[in-house]
Structure formats: C-alpha cells, structure tokens
C-alpha cells in the first residue's frame, strides 16, 4: 500500500511551480560563519570583561595610592604647621625682646644721633645701663609663645665663634686684609657694612 | 480503609503547573516592583548608606601689618576623642614582640602628653558610649604625639582655630573670635565679610574599609577661602609703643594709656597702642574693659591740647598773630557770675598768643579766642574732625561730644571753657587727628587703619575714604606750627618733650576728669606733637588716663619722647638742619 502511495507521489522536479527555483546549497558555508561571529562576540565580551577587570584593579590600586599620598600630604601639612608655629613664636616681638634682654642687649632710653654732615653729635650720650624710663622686660602678653629662644646656647655659640675667630685672626693675621674703611666727604669713617 | 489512587495524572500536572505559574508570577511582580517601581527610592536609600557628605571648611583670611607680618591667621587644632564602648587594652610591638598595654597605662601615657591627670583621662574613656571628648583644641605637636601612640579607639577632629602669633601686639585692633569662631570684637568683627570664606561640600561613596569607591559620584562645591586684611600698622613700632605704655601705666599707676602714631602726609595710622590691652589668643584673661580699643571708644575732655585749635582759629581768622599781646590774669570773672583760673597762681602777665600756648594759660586762651565768634570757633572744631566718628568707623567707635552754639547745652560757661578743652569730649584718635592737618599744610586726611582687603590674586580693595579737608590755609598753619615749636622750646612742661637734633612742636594737656556734675581730682594727661617741625612727617599723641604718681603732663612727655625717638630712628628721619622761628613769649 505504502509503496503504492509513494509511487504515486509526483516528483518535485516534475511539478511545474513558476517563481520557485532550486539554488545551489549553502549549508556548508553557513556553519563556519556563525561559529566565527559567535567566537568574535565571545572574545570581545571576554576582552571587555578582562579589560574592565584590569582597569578596576588599576583604579583600585590608584585609589589606595591616592589615599596614601593624601595621608602623606596631611602629615606634611601638620609638620609645616608645627614648624610654622615655631617660627612664628621665635620671631614674635616678645620672644626677640626676651632673648635680647637675656643676652644682655638693652635698649638705651637716651639715644644719641650722629650727623655725618657737619660731624655733629646730637643728644647727651649716656650709658645704656641707665634704666630710667626703660622697660626692663617684655610687658606685652603672648600666650602663643610655644617655643622660646634658647639664648644660653646661643650665647655659648657666639662665645665659641668669637674665640674661634680670634684664634683664626691671630694665625692668619698676615693674610687677612683689614676691611676697607670708606670715608665720607666730611671725613668721618663710615661703616663698610651695607 | 482507603487507598491512594493514581487519579488523573494530567489534572495533577496541570495543577502543579498552575502553582508554579502563580509562584513565578508573584516573584515577577515583586521583581518588577523592586526593580522598576521602587527602584529610585531603593537606590536613594542605598546611596545614602554608602555616601558620605563632608563639609570642606573654608579657611578664614589673615590679618597682616603694613610689612606683611601676620597678626592673625587660622591653623588647625585637634579635638582628641575616644569611643568608650571600644576602649580596651592595646597591643604594642616592642622589640619584635606584641606586648599588651593596659587601659590604665594608656590613660597614663595620654595624661602625660595632654597635661592632665590619669584619673581624669580614665573617667573620660571608660563607659559604653560611642563618643567622649578627652581634650579640645590641642596643638599639632601634641596631636602628633598622641597619634604616634596608635590607639585604635581614639579619633581626632581637626578644628580651624584662630591664632595671633604676636599675642597682644595690636590685640586691641585685631579683636578676637569666640569659641564657636564667631567674631566678637575689633577688625575681626568689622571686616568679617572680607575675612570669612565660604565652606565647600564633598559627597562620595565609600566601601566597608572607608576608602572612597572608584568612579563613585563626587559632588564637590569648592571651598572659597577668606581674603586677607592688610593694615597700615607697623607691628614692630606697635610693640615698642605698647612696651613704653605698659611701663608708663605701672610707673604712673594709671588706669590706662594710649599712643597713636600718624604718618602726617598720608593719614595712615602706624601705631595705635594701648595699655593694658588684650591678648586675643586668650581674651578671657583680660578684664572686660581692656578687650576693646579705648583709642576709638574712650571719651574724655581733652583739656589744653584743644587750645591749639583755638589759637589756630584766631590766627586763621586774622583776629590775632602769634606775637599779638594779651594781658593775662590768673582769674577771669565773667558777667554771668562764673570764673575761670589758670592752673597755677600768677600775677597778670603780658603774654603773646604764642606765650599763652607755651604757658598753657586758660584765661589767656579765652581772651584770645573770644575775638572770634562762637559759631566760627565751632566751625573750626568740626573742620578739625571733632564731633563725628572717623572714617575708620571702628567697632563701637564714639563720635565724642561737641555742643553747637545756640543749642540748650551750649551755655555761657561752655562757650568759655570749650576754648581750653572742657565742655567738649573727644576720643584719643580724634585728638591725634587734630594735629595731623597741622603737620600737612593745613589739610586734614581721613584716618586710615586698613589699607584694604586683599584677594588671592593680590588685588587690594581699599575702604572708601572721605576727600581731604582744608582746615587752615598754609600761612595760618605754619604760624600755628611755629607756636607749637615754642611750646616745646619755652614751655615749662613742653620742653621735656625735646628731642636733641630735631625740631619738635607739640602741646601739653592736663584735663580734669568729670565726676558727676563737677570735676574730681583725677586727670587725663597728654602730649600731642609732631617732628621734625620744619617739615612734619609724624604726629604722635600720648594720653595717660588717671595717673596717680604724676598728675600733670610731665608724666606724658617721657613716653612721648621715647616713642617719637623710635619713630624717627625707625623711619630714618635725618636730624633738622634749621632752627625754629623765634616768637617772643612776652610783650612789652
């Protein structure tokens, strides 16, 4: 029966269907193209994922590095502030006045003026030891004096330097030229110091 | 007995399928609800949990003197805090080995650094709370030493704090801030709009470890720092003047003293010193009365320093010349029954106008002054800047009191005594600027204390100043200065202001201080003068209030001389090369 049925089937080629035609098979070509596209997509996705991962790791590392540098900056800022406050304190008028006083430097309440032109001295010279009218110590309060001059050490250093200079001067007396004294028009020697 | 029967498998399968569909639908609905409908709200909550918003404090601008010396600036101080709930022994690596340090030992270490008692520290760190302040506003050095202890349950808050590196130098001018950084006095308050910055804001997301998440959104509003104020004050000179005044107050046992140095040709204030004054780093240590600036706020009758205005008015109005003669009695009795005497008994003297100033005669200056109508004298008093605030407009500045002729308070006696500085009240700054025009060819300049508000780019925005006012014509001005020179040359007290080598002009003042309706036995003594007189560069006004050991202006000339000598040295003013024009003191 079935054989008969099959036999009765009209062959495809025999059926005349205008508009339809048999084309050359592409089955063999489609498979590699699909695999290639899928491969490209897969590689692309993987590349992006790996790149993303690498970038993420890099940026995370940078963030920790940044955090570390910011911490370092904070530490340096703190150091700068500590040093700045020490400089402020050391250069404050109160500290300088106290240091000068402890080094034996005192302000003369009776200054005398020298006028080079005419070679005249104005005022009555008096020893600075005359304490009349002179403030003996700093009288202007400053609670920010966090650091004070160690004048004892400074005085010792100066004494040491003076002794050194003195010895040096004796040893090299012949070599060292005396500083040139500049004379003013009026004949009074002026200091060579500028 | 019943047995389970297989039933209809197709029906059971359908039922199961329906249940699965139902459950999946429920999950789908919930998913859509969470992911789409509530997504925004959930994201907000999530972001809020991760995000941290931090205020970026704007640093307040600095106050600088004329040479750039910092008088006030902002630094960080640190609050040392603990989380008591987490307090416990700490591990410390000693020679490669971890050693446990007890809480008591840690407290003792903290106490030693913070200058506290161990018990006090222990009391603050033991507990169950998350926050306890151990000490507020420690300096950076102490903060660093504490941090080096590596105590995990301590944390630190940086607090911007105002610091005045030179302490009380110009403290009366700078003013100070309160504990909450609110400006409370002085220039800090007056120029707050210049000094204060605008805080910024930063928002970021952080991970569990507290580190900012990469690529998290950061919304930043940049902080705008405050601008600086540049003063005309020379802080070295200011310190010198304060030293001299502090010494003067002690020696004379006075209530207070002030010294004002003015650059005559510019009107700039170079020093405005007071004693006692305030250390703005710790204003609580000063009496309330010493925390302001008496130079701008204290009002008193000036006394004889006013005679200069009267004499200048008479000369400018051509009513008399410096050499014009007057018969000057010890006492003048007026038609309305009141009288005025000189400070010392003397027979009637034949004094010139210059001699009247040199002897500081009250009766003599009345005789000279009444040659000019009261309205004219009032006009000159106002032209010299009295009766109104200066353009500095300092916090709490007083205008003083000047009565106008024809008004109820200007009675017959006021008309007379105003000529020698009673019945009129002034501030120390006004007294200094009476003499500034005399040192500037008769042209009064608006006082200047603040050179300007300086931006980060260096541009300086200066406060508006009023136009100069011509008070005296140059000829009358010169005659007035000549008379002031004679005060220093021939005056009994005036000569104590002499500075060898320099021509100096000035006037003494010994003013009785009002005590209720009358006058008490205490005085405000002063000396105001200029140097070098042939071409005055600097004006200095010294006032000592209520001295007890010396109660006349003999107490004011020594500090005046010391400060003026320093001014002349400081600004390298060469000694005078000419001599003063002689004006006879007496006439025959």
At residue A189, the pLDDT reads 46
Nearest chain A residue to B142 by CA distance is: A82
Handedness of CA B548, B553, B557, B559 (dihedral sign): positive
Pairing of strands B331-333, B339-341: antiparallel
Percent of chain B past pLDDT 90, that is, above it, reads 77
- Residues in chain B with CB shorter than 8 Å from the CB of A140 are 167-169, 239, 242-243, 246, 277
- Residues in chain A with CB shorter than 8 Å from the CB of B141 are 82, 146
- Residues in chain B with CB shorter than 8 Å from the CB of A64 are 211
Q: Is the pLDDT of residue B116 over 70?
A: yes
User: Shortest CB distance from B214 goes to which of A63, A139, A145?
Assistant: A63
Interchain pair B70, A88: CB under 8 A? yes
Question: Closest approach of chain B CAs to the CA of A170, in angstroms?
Answer: 37
Query: Judged by CB atoms within 8 Å, which residues 415-434 of B form the interface with A?
Result: none
Interchain pair B211, A124: CB under 8 A? no
Question: Closest approach of chain A CAs to the CA of B558, in angstroms?
Answer: 7
Q: Please tell me if residue B282 touches chain A, with a CB cutoff of 8 Å.
A: yes
At residue B500, the pLDDT reads 83
Question: Closest approach of chain B CAs to the CA of A157, in angstroms?
Answer: 27
* Residue whose token pair is 């506003």: B137
Rounded Cα distance between B457 and B455, Å, is: 5
At residue B3, the pLDDT reads 54
At residue A180, the pLDDT reads 47
Mutate to test the interface with B, among A93, A95, A109, A128 (most CBs of B within 10 A): A93
Question: Closest approach of chain B CAs to the CA of A188, in angstroms?
Answer: 17
Rounded Cα distance between B262 and B138, Å, is: 40
- Residues in chain B with CB shorter than 8 Å from the CB of A111 are 565, 569
Query: Is the model more confident about B349 or about B203?
Result: B349
User: What pLDDT digit, counting tens, does each position of B174-187 carry?
Assistant: 999 998 889 999 99
**Angle at alpha carbon of residue A140, lines to A134 and A144, rounded to 5°:** 145
**Angle at alpha carbon of residue A129, lines to A125 and A130, rounded to 5°:** 65
Torsion of CA B371, B374, B379, B382, to 10 degrees: 110
The mean pLDDT of B203-215, rounded to a whole number, is 66
- The pair of three-digit structure tokens given for residue B456, joined into one six-digit string: 């980060």
Question: Closest approach of chain B CAs to the CA of A123, in angstroms?
Answer: 5
The mean pLDDT of B246-266, rounded to a whole number, is 96
**Angle at alpha carbon of residue B310, lines to B306 and B314, rounded to 5°:** 165
User: Shortest CB distance from B501 goes to which of A85, A113, A146?
Assistant: A113
Q: What's the pLDDT band for B303 if we cut at 50, 70, 90? A: very high
Task: Write the DSSP assignment of B532-560 as a string of letters.
Answer: STTS--EEEEEEEES-SS--SGGGTHHHH
Average confidence score pLDDT of chain B: 92
CA distances from B70 to A82, B129, B414 (A): 16, 42, 47
User: What pLDDT digit, counting tens, does each position of B306-346 carry?
Assistant: 999 999 999 999 999 999 999 999 999 999 999 999 988 99
Nearest chain B residue to A122 by CA distance is: B501
Task: Write the DSSP assignment of B403-449 as a string of letters.
Answer: PPTTSTT--HHHHHHGGGT-S-BB-HHHHHHHHTGGGTTTEE---BS
At residue B64, the pLDDT reads 97
At residue B290, the pLDDT reads 94
Nearest chain A residue to B498 by CA distance is: A123
Interchain pair A142, B70: CB under 8 A? no
At residue A178, the pLDDT reads 44
User: Shortest CB distance from A94 goes to which of B167, B211, B214?
Assistant: B167
The mean pLDDT of B100-106, rounded to a whole number, is 93
User: What pLDDT digit, counting tens, does each position of B518-571 carry?
Assistant: 788 889 999 999 999 999 999 999 999 999 998 888 999 999 999 998 999 889
Q: Please tell me if residue A109 touches chain B, with a CB cutoff of 8 Å.
A: yes
Mutate to test the interface with B, among A61, A99, A141 (most CBs of B within 10 A): A141
At residue B125, the pLDDT reads 92
At residue B216, the pLDDT reads 62
Picking from B438, B431, B505, the residue whose alpha carbon sits closest to that of residue B471 is B438
User: Shortest CB distance from A60 goes to which of B214, B282, B574?
Assistant: B214
User: What pLDDT digit, counting tens, does each position of B7-48 carry?
Assistant: 788 888 888 999 999 999 999 999 999 888 888 888 888 877
Nearest chain A residue to B251 by CA distance is: A133
Mutate to test the interface with B, among A79, A89, A140, A186 (most CBs of B within 10 A): A140
At residue B422, the pLDDT reads 93
Q: Please tell me if residue B247 touches chain A, with a CB cutoff of 8 Å.
A: yes
CA distances from A127 to A111, A124, B27, B565 (A): 9, 10, 102, 17
Asked if B108 contacts B118 with a C-beta cutoff of 8 angstroms, the reply is: yes
User: Shortest CB distance from B139 goes to which of A56, A115, A146?
Assistant: A146
- Residues in chain A with CB shorter than 8 Å from the CB of B59 are none
Rounded Cα distance between B430 and B578, Å, is: 30
User: Shortest CB distance from A135 goes to which of B214, B244, B502?
Assistant: B244
At residue A7, the pLDDT reads 46
* Residue whose token pair is 């169950």: B128
Rounded Cα distance between B465 and B441, Å, is: 19
Q: Is the pLDDT of residue B583 over 70?
A: yes
Question: Closest approach of chain B CAs to the CA of A154, in angstroms?
Answer: 22
- Residues in chain B with CB shorter than 8 Å from the CB of A81 are 75-76, 140
Detail the DSSP E strand segments found in chain A: 113-115, 120-122, 182-183, 189-190
Q: Is the pLDDT of residue B421 over 80?
A: yes
Residues of chain A short of pLDDT 50, as ranges, are 1-4, 6-7, 170-171, 173-194
Q: What's the pLDDT band for B4 if we cut at 50, 70, 90? A: low
User: Shortest CB distance from B168 goes to which of A82, A141, A146?
Assistant: A141
pTM for this prediction: 0.80
Q: Is B572 exposed, middle or buried (0-12, 13-18, 19+ CB in 10 A)?
A: exposed
The mean pLDDT of B197-217, rounded to a whole number, is 71
At residue A194, the pLDDT reads 41
User: Shortest CB distance from A139 goes to which of B247, B502, B574?
Assistant: B247
Rounded Cα distance between B155 and B146, Å, is: 10
First to last CA, chain B: 159
């Amino acid at each position: 029966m079935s054989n008969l049925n099959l036999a009765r089937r009209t062959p495809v080629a025999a059926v005349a269907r205008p508009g339809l035609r048999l084309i050359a098979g592409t089955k063999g070509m489609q498979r590699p193209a699909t695999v290639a596209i899928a491969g490209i997509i897969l590689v692309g996705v993987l590349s992006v994922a790996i790149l993303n991962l690498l970038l993420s790791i890099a940026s995370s590392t940078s963030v920790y590095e940044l955090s570390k540098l910011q911490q370092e900056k904070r530490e340096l800022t703190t150091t700068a502030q500590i040093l700045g406050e020490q400089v402020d304190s050391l250069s404050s008028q109160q500290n300088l006045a106290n240091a000068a006083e402890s080094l034996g430097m005192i302000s003369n309440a009776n200054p005398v003026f020298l006028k080079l032109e005419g070679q005249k001295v104005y005022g009555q010279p008096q020893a600075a030891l005359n304490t009349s009218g002179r403030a003996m110590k700093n009288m202007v309060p400053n609670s920010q004096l966090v650091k004070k001059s160690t004048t004892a050490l400074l005085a010792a250093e100066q004494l040491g330097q003076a002794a050194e200079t003195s010895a040096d001067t004796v040893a090299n007396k012949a070599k060292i030229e005396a500083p040139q004294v500049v004379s003013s028009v009026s004949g009074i020697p002026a200091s060579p110091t500028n | 007995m019943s047995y389970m029967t297989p039933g209809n498998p197709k029906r059971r399968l359908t039922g199961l399928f329906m249940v699965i569909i139902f459950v999946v639908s429920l999950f789908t609905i919930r998913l859509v609800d969470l992911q789409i409908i509530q997504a925004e709200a959930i994201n907000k909550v999530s972001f809020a949990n991760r995000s941290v918003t931090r205020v970026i404090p704007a640093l307040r601008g600095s106050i600088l003197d004329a040479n750039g010396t910092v008088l006030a600036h902002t630094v960080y101080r640190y609050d040392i805090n603990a989380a008591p709930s987490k307090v416990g022994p700490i591990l410390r690596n000693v020679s490669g080995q971890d050693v446990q340090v007890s809480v008591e030992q840690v407290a003792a270490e903290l106490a030693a650094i913070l200058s506290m008692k161990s018990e006090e520290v222990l009391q603050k760190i033991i507990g169950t709370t998350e926050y306890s302040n151990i000490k507020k506003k420690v300096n950076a050095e102490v903060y660093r030493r504490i941090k080096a202890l590596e105590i995990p349950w301590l944390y630190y808050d940086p607090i911007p704090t105002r610091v005045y590196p030179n302490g009380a130098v110009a403290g009366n001018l700078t003013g100070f801030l309160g504990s909450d950084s609110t400006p409370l006095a002085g220039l800090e308050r007056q120029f707050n709009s210049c000094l204060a910055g605008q805080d910024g804001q930063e928002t970021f997301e952080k991970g569990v470890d507290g580190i900012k998440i990469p690529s998290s959104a950061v919304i930043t509003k940049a902080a705008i720092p405050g601008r600086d104020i540049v003063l005309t004050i020379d802080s070295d000179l200011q310190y010198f003047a304060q030293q001299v005044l502090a010494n003067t107050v002690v020696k004379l046992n006075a209530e207070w003293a002030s010294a004002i140095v003015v650059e005559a040709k510019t009107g700039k204030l170079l020093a405005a010193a007071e004693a006692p004054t305030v250390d703005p780093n710790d204003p609580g240590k000063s009496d309330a009365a010493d925390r302001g600036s008496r130079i701008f706020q204290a009002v008193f009758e000036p006394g004889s320093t006013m005679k200069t205005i009267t004499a200048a008015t008479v000369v400018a109005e051509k009513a008399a010349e410096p050499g014009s003669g007057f018969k000057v009695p010890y006492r003048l009795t007026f038609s309305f029954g009141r009288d005025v005497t000189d400070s010392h008994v003397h027979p009637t003297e034949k004094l010139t106008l210059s001699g009247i100033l040199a002897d500081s005669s009250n009766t003599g200056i009345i005789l000279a002054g009444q040659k000019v109508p009261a309205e004219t004298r009032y006009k000159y008093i106002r032209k010299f800047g009295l009766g109104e605030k200066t353009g500095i407009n300092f916090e709490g500045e007083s205008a003083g009191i000047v009565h106008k002729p024809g008004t109820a308070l200007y009675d017959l006696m006021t008309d007379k005594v105003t000529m020698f500085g009673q019945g009129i009240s002034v501030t120390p700054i006004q007294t200094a600027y009476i003499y500034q025009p005399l040192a500037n060819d008769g042209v009064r300049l608006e006082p200047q204390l603040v050179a300007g508000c300086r931006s980060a780019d260096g541009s300086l925005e200066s406060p508006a100043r009023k136009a100069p006012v011509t008070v005296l014509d140059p000829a009358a001005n010169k005659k007035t200065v000549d008379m002031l020179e004679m005060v220093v040359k021939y005056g009994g007290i005036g000569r104590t202001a002499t500075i060898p080598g320099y021509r100096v002009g000035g006037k003494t003042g010994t003013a009785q201080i009002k005590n209720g309706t009358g006058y008490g036995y205490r005085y405000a003594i002063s000396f105001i003068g200029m140097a070098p007189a042939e071409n005055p560069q600097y004006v200095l006004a010294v006032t000592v209030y209520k001295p007890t050991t010396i109660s006349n202006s003999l107490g004011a000339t020594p500090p005046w001389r010391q400060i003026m000598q320093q001014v002349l040295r400081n600004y390298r003013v060469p000694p005078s090369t000419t001599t003063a024009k002689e004006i006879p003191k007496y006439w025959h």
